[in-house]
Amino acid sequence: MTLALTLLAVGLLFTSLAVVGWRHRTEERISLIEAGILKATGQEPLPLTRFDKWFQRFQLLMMSIFGPAITVLGLLFLLVEMGVL
**Better pLDDT: 85 or 22:** 22
**Range 64-74 average pLDDT:** 96
Task: Encode pLDDT of 8-58 as tens digits.
Answer: 999 999 999 999 999 988 887 888 898 899 999 988 888 888 998 899 999
Among candidate residues 57, 55, 35, the one with its CA nearest the CA of residue 46: 35
Per-residue pLDDT at 85: 83
Per-residue pLDDT at 60: 94
- Contact between 45 and 34 (Cβ < 8 Å): yes
Q: How far apart are the first and last CA of the chain?
A: 14
Q: Which residues contact 45 (CB under 8 A, 6 or more apart)?
A: 30, 34, 35, 38
For the cut 90, the answer to whether the pLDDT of residue 68 exceeds it is yes
Per-residue pLDDT at 6: 96
